[in-house]
Amino acid sequence: MSDFNTDELRDTGFLERLFYFLICPLFLVLVLEIILRVKHVPSFFIPLPSQVLHELFRSRATLFFNGLITAREIILGFLLGVSVGSALAIAVFYFPLVKKILMPFIFLSQIFPKIAFAPILLIWFGFGIFLKVSIGALTSFFPIMINLLTGLNNVSKVRQDIFKSLCANGHQTFFKLYLPSCLPYFFAGLKTGLVFATYGVIVGEFTSSHSGLGYLIQAGSHQMNTTICFASLIVLGMIVILFYSLLVLAERKVLYWKEME
């Protein structure tokens, strides 16, 4: 009887996910197609979903090529942001002097819009890939650092006292206590950082690039070709969803013990 109920719940969950991720979006796209056709909205203002679908098929080679370039830049910018954010969080947590010196500059870097740094980074790094990677890292490191630092500061005092009573050294305390305890916060920061890294990379491609999805969007806007703009946005969304899904999968594999609590 319990097995039957479990299977029934699984079927219900699958149908619910199918509705929200497939049927519901398709219904909304169909409604939008009908409204745009009835109202005769110009395609340069908002293209028909069918036109965007046709553009996705017609320009699939171009979109795939530029999508790979943007995906590589997002990965590199995100990984650099993770490295910088994690290192800063650990340094600020363990060394109060570092916190006093660096935190004002870190917060100051987040006040200004990232596009304001683009011309300066363009002078420093030129027109190459590192411009986009650096902006991606600049936009993504802060949420990763803040979430990891929050996790380190929220480790249970009782557990800390237990490790002290067991005479655990600093290395053991960090890897056996602090690291597992802050992983949920860290993964939350990774998810946010991925979105910010994507934003930074696209800003970099807007600033100076001859390839990538950001370049296609900007070129399409100059030509009043909104169809390629929307097609590029769809490809960009698919890339981010793929990376985000991989993060969620990694979180479930690493934090399997959370489901047991």
| The pLDDT value given to residue 84 | 94
Using the Cα atoms of residue 245, residue 247, residue 249 and residue 255 in order, give the sign of their dihedral.
negative
**Top-level CATH class of 54-260?**
mainly alpha
Q: How far apart are alpha carbons 76 and 82 in whole angstroms?
A: 10
Q: How confident is the model at residue 2 (pLDDT cuts 50, 70, 90)?
A: very low
Give yes or no for a contact between 148 and 184, defined as CB atoms under 8 angstroms apart.
no
Q: Token pair for residue 62? A: 């171009």
Classify residue 223 by its DSSP letter. Answer: T
CA distances 238 to 18, 64, 71, Å, are: 17, 11, 10
Number of residues assigned to the chain: 261
Q: How far apart are alpha carbons 15 and 21 in whole angstroms?
A: 10
C-beta atoms surrounding 136 within 10 Å:
31
What is the average per-residue pLDDT within 39-64?
A: 84
For the stretch 203-240, pLDDT in tens is: 888 877 788 898 898 888 888 888 999 999 999 999 99
Give yes or no for a contact between 202 and 237, defined as CB atoms under 8 angstroms apart.
no
User: Is the pLDDT score of 61 beyond 50?
Assistant: yes
Q: What is the pTM of this model?
A: 0.84
Q: How far apart are alpha carbons 93 and 87 in whole angstroms?
A: 10
For the stretch 130-184, pLDDT in tens is: 888 888 998 999 999 999 999 988 888 887 778 777 777 877 888 888 888 889 9
